[in-house]
Amino acid sequence: MTRPTPDPEEAQAAIEYCYAQGWSDGLPLVPASQPLIERFLATTSKDPAEIIGELEQVGRNCTVYLAAVNAAMAGCLPEYFPVVLAAFDALMHERAARGGGWQSTSGPAPMIVVNGPVRHELGFNTHGGAFGPGFRPNATIPRAIGLIIRNAFGIRPHVLEQATQGLPGRWSICLAENEEESPWPPFAEDGGQPAGASAVSATLLRTCEFVDNRHTQDPEHVLNDIADTISRTGSLIFRDTSAGVVFCPEHAQTLATAGLTKQDVQAWLIEHCGRTGADLRRAGKNGLRGIARFADADTSADDTFTRILPSPRHVPIVVAGARNAAISMVVRIFGEWSGTATEVTK
């Protein structure tokens, strides 16, 4: 005996009800019911009333229960919930995410990176099309974060959220690292997790910029091309900046074959990313007032090369995507990454 097909008229009415309450990010939501939320809450030992994040200036917080409701509405399956909780915890380690980041004119996007066995257990996409779309856990987990910010924290576009243009993919970036084809240790180890752990890291991005360099075997060609993208003046607003690289497997393997570790690549980029004083002056960004860049008529530093990446933590390195082309992504970090990863716990 097959179950009757659900009544689409009822389903549509429930979806429209959610729109009418102002809960949606623009796309249809899954209406959440008590039995569904109980299945989410059953995946964690956390108390539903536990507060897992707070935005003091707007007087709002998020509990485990509210996170479950928003995750369900985002389209997550109950078994994704421990990853949602780990992603939110990782994000709450970011200064910008605890402060004014969600209200910012730059409209930053969370970037979530998943490592370990949980990637395969839950069916994450770990290779081609890493930035999406097409795969339920990769698509719905960052959307759950977006709904938490909108509904639990109350940060809504045009009101407390003041993004000038925002950026494409604001609530849709969740990479499962391609550990199988990466020559380097998993990203979660850089965040302090043991080898083999299922763990989530997160930071805020201002944009993603591709570097397509597929006709060379010389690691310096690849690194110089990436350094040029990292060093563009348009992204510089402060003395220092932070930019990660999501290497495709081919670029990562080219570098590793040449003997470069992740730390070597970070050190190379720290050394080579920057601009001359003249370049900065032409863009009106050569002066410093505190840590902010501004236009200064002084030409005396025109020939000085200014480095912009202060430490390896400001150049996080992830490996993601397919092995079918040499295309990597520079990810422009809003503020700076905390350098921590959160274990996925049941």
Partner 1 sequence: MPYPILDPTGTTTTATRPRPPRAPRRRDLRGATVGLLVNTKQNAAPFLDELGRLLVAEHGATATMARTKVNFAAPAPGELIKEMTTSCDVIITGIGDCGSCSASAVADGIAFEAAGLPAAAICSDAFRVTADAMAEIRGVPGYRYATTPHPVAVLNPDQVKQRAAQVLDDVMNLLTEPE
Binding stretches for partner 1 (CB under 8 A): 14, 17-18, 21, 23, 31-35, 37, 56-63, 66, 69-70, 72-73, 99-101, 103-105, 147, 151-152, 154, 158-163, 289-290, 292, 294
Burial of 269 (0-12, 13-18, 19+ CB in 10 A): buried
Q: Which is nearer to partner 1, 63 or 233 (CB)?
A: 63
Interatomic CA distance for residues 28 and 240, integer angstroms: 40
Nearer to partner 1, 149 or 330 (CB): 149
Q: Minimum Å distance from CB 62 to partner 1? A: 8
Dihedral-angle region of residue 266 (phi above 0 means left; psi in -120 to 50 means alpha; beta otherwise): alpha
Q: What's the farthest any 2 CA atoms get from each other in the chain? A: 83
Output 100 or 117, the one with its CB closest to partner 1.
100
Question: Smallest distance from the beta carbon of 205 to partner 1, in angstroms?
Answer: 17
Angle, CA of 334, 242 and 187, to the nearest 5° = 95
As measured in angstroms, the least distance from the Cβ of 19 to partner 1 is 12
- Give the other-Cβ count within 10 Å of 113's Cβ: 27
Torsion sign across C-alpha atoms 89, 91, 96, 99: negative
Q: In this structure, what are the phi and psi dihedrals at residue 195, rounded to the nearest 5 degrees? A: -60, 140
Nearer to partner 1, 215 or 289 (CB): 289
User: Could you tell me the two tokens for 302?
Assistant: 């025109």
**Judged by CB, which is closer to partner 1: 61, or 233?**
61
- Structure-token pair, residue 78: 């109950």
> Assign residue 134 a region: left if phi > 0, alpha if psi is -120 to 50, beta otherwise?
left
Residue 66 CB, nearest approach to partner 1 (Å)? 5
Residue 273 CB, shortest distance to partner 1, in Å, is 25
Of 141 and 320, CB closest to partner 1:
141
Q: How far is the CB of 309 from partner 1 (least distance, A)?
A: 23
The residues pairing with 175 across neighbouring beta strands, listed in sequence order, are: 113
Sign of CA dihedral 88, 94, 95, 100: negative
Nearer to partner 1, 36 or 322 (CB): 36
Report the nearest approach of partner 1 to the CB of residue 17 (Å): 6
